[in-house]
Chain A
């Protein structure tokens, strides 16, 4: 079985500040990990993904995440927040051992203040 835990359902940062959204996963097989963003009244858009290879992955809009197997984490960061980053962010996991169940965390709402 696999699962994802996102710590903090709401995160608030000032514009220009570091963004850190936390994600920890549980998987019995090597995982594939994803971060999605959802803007109001829209579908989910992929920010970045980790499958194999380099553990630091870069995504769109200046976001990046690092896969740390020892910590079972895949935290999302951005050096400098912009007002347009305000949205809901979801971490997701799928096991590589077969099956197709893409499991999402409970989401983190990011608020960016002036």
Chain B
């Protein structure tokens, strides 16, 4: 039973399209994140939600819009995809000051 699950695992799409990545956690955590990992493996935080409320919104183009329908879900919608959006996107969750648990990642390729 996967703790943090993301779908899809792979996503190949054309420039200009709109796509969504879904994330669900069954750990009862109250905080969820989206991270972007670029080709050099650098992990950059994009967003963080706590109890469905957006608390961290880094310098991310407004083409990226997170949505948290409930504490267990955090989805990422991307409009007008660009070549530079190609990366691996990781969802993670945590509670209190414990460690974060990560999903397996979504490899997005924009062509």
A-side residues, CB < 8 A to B, are 32, 34, 36, 38, 42-46, 49, 51, 88, 90, 92, 94, 96, 99-104, 106-107, 109
Contacts and interface: CB of A to CB of B under 8 A. Distances in A.
The 8 A-B pairs with the shortest beta carbon distances in the complex, nearest first, are A43-B102, A104-B43, A44-B102, A43-B104, A107-B41, A46-B99, A100-B48, A100-B31
Contacts of A46: 99, 101
A95 to B, nearest CB: 10
A102 B102 contact: no
Main secondary structure of the interface of B (DSSP, over half): strand
Contact of A100 (B43, B50, B103, B104): B50
Contact of B55 (A32, A44, A94, A100): A100
B31 A43 contact: no
Nearest to B44: A104
Contacts of A32: 97
Contacts, number: 54
Nearest to B41: A107
A114 B55 CA distance: 47
Contacts of A43: 4, 90, 102-105
Contacts of A36: 102
B19 interface: no
Given A43-B103, A43-B104, A44-B90, A101 B97 contact: no
